[in-house]
Amino acid sequence: MKNLMSYKGYWAKIEYSDEDECFCGKVEGLKKDLICFEGENVKQLKADFKNAIDHYLQTCKDLNQEPETQCKGSLNVRLGVKLHNEARIKSEEKNISINELIKQAVDNYIKTY
């Protein structure tokens, strides 16, 4: 079951609250801002999600602030010594940086799955 929604570059995790008898969602990965939404059915959930994102972006614009992004585009990956060495050798063989090798590997994995 897919429990993610995306809109305008933001993605959110969806859960069901048995207590409230509704679907609820939260935009993940934000450090300082909080974007939550809910709906009694999928149609309402999608509409509230889009409204929440649009409201957030408009509020940032009104306050002349840059909207927070979920990912910065860089991350620290711990591969372990053996895999790190193998990746370094492969990057040298392909005459690309290890960063480029990892980007290609992740891209290929995402396209495959």
Q: pLDDT (tens digit, 9 = 90+) per residue, 42-72?
A: 999 999 999 999 999 999 999 999 999 998 8
Q: What would the mean pLDDT of 11-25 be, rounded to a whole number? A: 94
Q: Say whether pLDDT at 1 is over 90.
A: no
- The reply to whether the predicted model has a pTM over 0.85 is no
| Contacts of 98-106 spanning 24+ positions with Cβ under 8 A | 102/77
36 strand-pairing partners = 26
What pLDDT score was predicted for residue 88? Answer: 95
Residue 51 CA neighbour count, 13 Å, CB half:
9
What residue type is assigned to position 46 of the chain?
K
Backbone angles phi, psi at 88, to 5 degrees: -65, -45
